[in-house]
Amino acid sequence: MKTASILGVHFHAVTMDQAIDIAMGRLRAQEKGYVVTPNPEIVELCRQDSAYMEIVNRAALVLPDGIGIIYAAKILGEELQGKVAGVEFAEHLAAAMAKEKMRLFLLGAKPGVAEQAGESLSAKYPGLVIAGTHDGYFTDPQQAVDAVNRCGGADVVFVCLGAPKQEKFMAEYMDELHATLLCGLGGSLDIFAGVSKRAPDLFIKLGLEWFYRLLKQPSRIGRMMKLPKFLLIVIRERLFGRKGKSSK
Ligand code: UDP
């Protein structure tokens, strides 16, 4: 698979359809692995923690989530096939799984949210089997592992614990979990449950989803300011090569 390196994170240059084909192929072959969907914040965390970077780069699929990654690829002259947002990948995968009556476990978010997300996904994609759910505020990760294994396992687990918790959880417990593919998907369960809303299509098309989220939730300004900083680091990497990597 062709990759595009952005500050050390090796993104897969795939379209949404290709990403779903790869995921479904792995599910049918029962080939274990996990999917990550890094945005600029995750790339920044990787730069600060090399063990975390390794976890991200070991993923079966590293999908470019968000317009910031697309800008970064353009600046660096790296080739990507466009954005593959985590929440959209999750929707498409649920639809493909439904056709083959596959089992999905939902892990993460506040108590009650995963159940609600499960109800909305199974109503939207008849055939999809919700194998079980568990909230994301466990004290011992073993509780979450047991919940997946006790329900008879699943083809896919959506792991929605936020970064870096979800990626670390997937890498550490992949072998123990009775599941083929784990997908780290941030706040996606909140969106499926209707707890938080995605931006209207026009904002998404114009690459302004971040702006919509800022309008709805001005407290995100601190997180948002990381984006221009990230792009400055990318520009420095482009101009001065690897020097940009070690400085903060
Ligand atoms: N979350 C969780 N357990 C935790 C911390 C967070 O389940 O210990 C959930 C949180 O409720 C939210 C998701 O993880 O549903 C992360 O959301 P965020 O908006 O940070 O993710 P993004 O999509 O922006 O990466």
Structure confidence by residue, pLDDT tens digits, 134-184: 999 999 999 999 999 999 999 999 999 999 999 999 999 999 999 999 999
Q: pTM of the entire structure?
A: 0.92
Strand partners, 11: 4
Does 190 contact ligand 1 (Cβ within 6 A)? yes
Q: What is the pLDDT of residue 242?
A: 62
Does 160 contact ligand 1 (Cβ within 6 A)? yes
Buried b (16+ CB within 10 A) or exposed e, 120-135: ebbeebeebebbbbbb
Q: Which two tokens stand for residue 85?
A: 């947002």
Q: Which of 105, 143, 157, 190 to mutate to test the pocket of ligand 1 (most atoms within 8 A of CB)?
A: 190
Does 38 contact ligand 1 (Cβ within 6 A)? no
Contact (Cβ atoms closer than 8 angstroms) between residue 203 and residue 211: yes
Does 107 contact ligand 1 (Cβ within 6 A)? no
Can you give the pLDDT of all 248 residues of the chain as single tens digits?
A: 999 999 999 999 999 999 999 999 999 999 999 999 999 999 999 999 999 999 999 999 999 998 999 999 999 999 999 999 999 999 999 999 999 999 999 999 999 999 999 999 999 999 999 999 999 999 999 999 999 999 999 999 999 999 999 999 999 999 999 999 999 999 999 999 999 888 899 998 888 888 898 888 888 888 888 889 999 999 999 999 864 444 44
Centre of ligand 1 from the C-alpha of residue 106, in Å: 13
Q: What is the pLDDT of residue 241?
A: 84
